[in-house]
Every structure is written in structure tokens, then in C-alpha cells.
Chain A
Amino acid sequence: MATAISARQLAVTFPRRGRQQAVDALRPLDLDLAPGRIVGVLGPNGSGKTTLLRVLAGLQLPTGGTATVLDQPPTARALRRRVAFQPEGPLPLDVLSAREFLAYVGAELGLPNAESDARAERWLERLDLRHTGRRWIRTFSTGMQRRLALAAALLGDPEVLLLDEPTAGLDPFGSATVMAILRERAAAGTAVLMASHQLLEVEEICDEVLVLQAGELRARGTLAALLGTDAQALVVRGLDDGAIARLGDAARRLGGEVLAVERQRQHLFALFRRLAGPRGGQP
């Protein structure tokens, strides 16, 4: 399978400035991402997640190693449309409306006006932003801005998506929509590299994860490999404590090991969804 993103010994060191020491934002790491795969980048604040994404988006030159995206250097102008980057934080040009902003993005990506507007409407509908009308982006909530940023990233139908905290500030419905869209994009062949602090979402959607700590790659692999695959859960209902104990004994007799016996409760999202009710356009 062809590689969408490839990095070898990729490193970024921010040079010493005045009294500030030089910072190794990214220590040499190797990375390969195939089309159709979703890879999560995990790590605490300052661990190098954003730096990695900025290098791959061509916004930061590496100080060591090499990186290619779709077989081209990340700074290649030809990648502007094929690779989309959704940075963290507020959107630029925040006195535009959502439609005006997407029209600007579409024009810069070289989309014909009519096609750009049609795609914009489609994503605004999908991401529940159609109702925003002529409202300025700066009046949007954080979640609305994140959804609009994703719409902008998806407008050019990119082959690689680089997302920095795509679900930060989103309500559970918004997160679920974003997750669904990313799954669809991956199924269509788009390679997705997303930095996130939302561990549950990463666990739910990512095929692989990278764990960074102080710019160093601490772990890399599929979730199954990292989390272990030999543990299995049997969820039962209607048994009292004595019956559960006997069930445990039976498992041990069969050669198994009982790792935990815990009372399972309903998932918070399911409760939220039940209480808040379904929202139009949400999966």
C-alpha cells in the first residue's frame, strides 16, 4: 500500500533565544501513515503533537530528518489542496460569516465558485452550521468554530487530514458527528492524523496511536497491540454476588484468570443522548 505520510528521524529543535534555552520540540521519530488509516497522536501539553502536525502541514521546517506527504515535501505548494490542516484555536478572519469564510477557503484552494459554494452548503448542513446565516465567526461558540474549521479542512476533499484537537470544545453530538465524518473519510481513503486529548474518542476511532512525551515518541502501534488483546469481557445481568463468584470459579477452572469483577453502569454519552434527545442531522 502506498504511504500517505512518511517521516524518518524527523526532529525539530527551536533554537536558543535570549535567556531561553534551545528546546527539542520533536526528537527523531519515524512515522508511516497509509491511506485510509486514522492515527491518533497523544501526549500531554508541550509534548510535540502540534509541532509534528505543523511540520507535516509545511508550516514548520524540520531541523533534522525528512518527511514526505503524498511523496512530496510538506512545503510543496501542490499539497495545499491535497492535504488539509485544521489547527488548534480560534479561526482567522473572524468578522466573516461561515459562508464567506468557506468561500474564501474554496477560492484559495482553486475551486470554482459554484462548486465551492455547493460543497460549503453540504458541509454546513452536515456539521449543523446552516442556521448561522450572516453571523460573524467571532460570535460562534468554540464548538461551532471547531466544526467550521473542520468544514474548511474538508472543503477541498483532501487526501490527507491533519487535525489538531478536532473535537476540543464540542458537545457530545458534535464529537459524534466529527467522529462519523472522519470514519467516512478514512473509508474513502483519506489518511487522518489527529492530535487529541480525548482518549475515549481516540480509542473509538483510531487504528493506531503515537504517544509523545517531551518531543519523544514513547509508544506507537495499533490499539490492540498497545492495550493487549488477550483480555475479554463477559457482561452478564440478573446474577447475584454468589452466582458471580461461582462464575469466576468456573472461569478459573477452565484455565482463565479473572482480572476484575465490577458493576457496570450505563455509558454517560448514552445517558446524555437519551435525556437531551436526538438532534437534527446528527447520527
Chain B
Amino acid sequence: MTGLRARHPFTLTFVHCLRRALLPVLGATGASALLRTATTTPLAGLETAPGAQTPWLHLPLVVAAFACAAAAATFWPLFAARRPGRDQVERLQRGPLRGCGAALAGALLAQLVLTLPLMTGFARLLGAPATAVAHVELPVPPQPLLTATQPRLSFALGDRVLDEVRLRPAAGPPTGPWQPTHVRVHVDGAPAAAAEVTFEQSLQLVRVPLPARPLHTLELEFVSGTVPLLFPRGAVVAVEAGTRSGLWNGVRAAWIYLLPSFVALALAMLFGAAATLPTVLTAAGGLLFVGTIGGAGPADDAVRSLLRGHEVLAGRTFSACIPSLAAGSLAMIVAMLLRRRLGR
């Protein structure tokens, strides 16, 4: 028993969060599976599309995130002011965060342990493909408008071997009597297989197959028509050739789903220098809500990408992780400085 007993804030919090969150997560997973079965009414296959299953995967993931964060915040007394025994723990703990960092890491590990089977197993049950393909949003030019007066737009492909490129521009008001716009597609100066494509309405998706070799540039040339086409961020997506493991994709999605909890607990650590537990729990809960099902941050994108079979860190999800990481890290640094300044 001696060697197995949890003794450190990290292991103590990990074990506590796991104990507290396991049953709720199992319950939420079962409820999610049942509700999905009960509410699915196939209509032209749309409702059963993997991307439409996002809410059912979100449900147990959100329960895991909330349960672990709440368990950690209530367990470790230094996450909030005026908690019973705070003095005792504060005096015992080393380090500028007084064990809060270790407790945060323990909570995140517990969430990861609970989330991994959901991202790799439950997602497959919901229809996520066994493999993942990288979808890369191409950087847009400074003036991403394709019209008769600005007839060429160029995109860098970065020497990738691509399967296809997906164009989904927004259409502007016609400049004359309505006529669909015809666009010629060039790759590295040569016409692509589907050399000319037509856009008749806004956000119309057009797929252009590409040759299987490293490519440098994609050029769109306005041929005819009266509809100006705007290519904002996300309107041109390159689909890389080759597939990757869906399991690994699930693991990455699980890691990304930790970010809202990281931000929530890091800010709880900051507020906890002065705020009491109800305030800390409310603030952390609100942040978690916004960061997960609220759609702010990378978690929602990661779940959707996973279910659609898109490689999770290839698209905008990666860049969406940076603000969350920065916010959480900054909160921890400020909490550290604040505790040092308060001199206990």
C-alpha cells in the first residue's frame, strides 16, 4: 500500500477527479447514445452525416470537462479564498502556485483519461471515419475579390501533394444582368484537370481535382460572368493526398478538448486569490461553457473535424489553440506574481 498511495497534489487531484467524473461521464455517454438513436429521423442521409453528430459527442465531453474542473476546484483549497484548511495547505506547499498548478495538471489528466475513449471509440460509433485527411485552409491574398476588373487571384500551396482543392466563395451583387461566373483554375501555371468551373450562387462548393505531385501555386482566373466572387479565409481549402490514423486524430482532439478546462482552471487559480468558491465555480463554469459548446476556441472545431474525418490540427483548429494557450498561461503567470506580491 505504501508505494501506491497518492501523496502529491497532482496524483491526489487526478484520483479525486477521476472518481468524481467517471459515473457522470458514463451516464452522459449512455444518454447521448440513447437520445441520438431516439431522435434520428433519416432524411436524405443528412441527419446521419458524421458532422451532424457533433452535439452527441459534445454531451459526454462537456460533462467530463465540467465534472473534472468542478472536482478540482472544490478539492484543492487554494483555488478559492476562505476555504477550510487553506492555511494548512498553503503552508505545506512549495512553489509559487502552492500546488494549484499540480492540481490543474491532475484534473486535466483525469479529463484526458475520460475523454480519450470518447474521442477514439464513441466518435467511431457516431460515424467518424477510421481515417483522417488533412484539410488546409489556404492563406488568402490581400484583396480576395475575383471580378472582371481584378481577374486573377493566386494562392500558395506550399509544395504539398494534394488530392483536390475546394472552392466556396461568397458571391457579391451582380455587376450587370445576372450571368454565372466562370473561373479557370491553373496549378503551377498549367490548367487543372477541371480547368473551368462555374459559380451560380453564394457559398457554392466546387471541388477541383489536382494532380498527385507537389504543387506550389493555385491561380484562379476570371473568365466571364457578372457575379463578383469573394474568397475570404476558409473559402479555399486544400485537401491533402493520403490518409492518417483516425485513432491518432481522436487522441489529438482529446488533447485540444482540454484547452477550455485549462483556461477555466487557470483563471480560477487567478480569481482564487480573492474570490470565494461560488464565484470561482461560476466563472470557471461560464468559461467552460463558452469554450466548449459555446464554440469559442478550438474545442468545437476539433470535435467537428474529428467526426468529419478531417485531420484535427491541420485546419484552423491549430491557430485557434494559440489564444487559449496564451490566455491560460498568462492567467497562471499573473496568479503566480499575485500570490508572491500578496506575500501569502
- What is the interface of chain A, defined by CB distance below 8 A to chain B? 54, 57-61, 75, 77, 80, 85-87, 89-96, 99-100, 103-109, 113-114, 116-117, 149, 152
In the complex, what residue of chain A is closest to B90 when comparing beta carbons? Answer: A59
In the complex, what residue of chain A is closest to B16 when comparing beta carbons? Answer: A95
Contact A80:B92 (CB < 8 A) given known A57-B87, A104-B12: yes
Is the pair A104, B85 in contact by a Cβ cutoff of 8 Å?
Answer: no
Contact A94:B6 (CB < 8 A) given known A57-B91, A75-B344, A104-B12: no
Closest 3 CB pairs of A and B: A92-B85, A107-B7, A90-B84
Contact with A along B83-118 (1 / 0, CB 8 A): 111111111111000000000000000000000000
Is the pair B84, A61 in contact by a Cβ cutoff of 8 Å?
Answer: no
In the assembled complex, the CB of B45 is this many whole angstroms from the nearest CB of chain A, namely 48
**Residues in A whose Cβ lies below 8 Å from that of B85:** 87, 89-94
In the assembled complex, the CB of B274 is this many whole angstroms from the nearest CB of chain A, namely 11
Partner of B5, one of A77, A89, A99: A99
In the assembled complex, the CB of A71 is this many whole angstroms from the nearest CB of chain B, namely 19
Contact with A along B1-37 (1 / 0, CB 8 A): 1110111110010001000000000000000000000
Interface: B228 (CB within 8 A)? no
**Residues in A whose Cβ lies below 8 Å from that of B7:** 103-104, 106-107, 113, 116
Is the pair A107, B344 in contact by a Cβ cutoff of 8 Å?
Answer: no
Is the pair B89, A92 in contact by a Cβ cutoff of 8 Å?
Answer: yes
Interface: B298 (CB within 8 A)? no
Separation of A217 and B91 alpha carbons in the complex (Å):
26
**Would you list which residues of chain B between 311 and 344 have a CB under 8 Å from chain A?**
343-344
In the complex, what residue of chain A is closest to B78 when comparing beta carbons? Answer: A92
Is the pair A93, B5 in contact by a Cβ cutoff of 8 Å?
Answer: no
Separation of A107 and B84 alpha carbons in the complex (Å):
21
Contact A100:B6 (CB < 8 A) given known A92-B77, A93-B89: yes
Separation of A100 and B12 alpha carbons in the complex (Å):
9
**Residues in A whose Cβ lies below 8 Å from that of B77:** 92-93
Interface: B289 (CB within 8 A)? no
Is the pair A114, B92 in contact by a Cβ cutoff of 8 Å?
Answer: no
**Residues in B whose Cβ lies below 8 Å from that of A80:** 91-92, 94
In the assembled complex, the CB of A122 is this many whole angstroms from the nearest CB of chain B, namely 15
Contact A96:B12 (CB < 8 A) given known A54-B87, A103-B5: yes
Separation of A91 and B83 alpha carbons in the complex (Å):
10
**Residues in B whose Cβ lies below 8 Å from that of A61:** 343-344
Partner of A92, one of B3, B5, B84, B344: B84
Is the pair B12, A93 in contact by a Cβ cutoff of 8 Å?
Answer: yes
Interface: B75 (CB within 8 A)? yes
Separation of A109 and B344 alpha carbons in the complex (Å):
19
In the complex, what residue of chain A is closest to B74 when comparing beta carbons? Answer: A95
Is the pair A91, B92 in contact by a Cβ cutoff of 8 Å?
Answer: no
In the complex, what residue of chain A is closest to B344 when comparing beta carbons? Answer: A59
**Residues in B whose Cβ lies below 8 Å from that of A58:** 91, 344
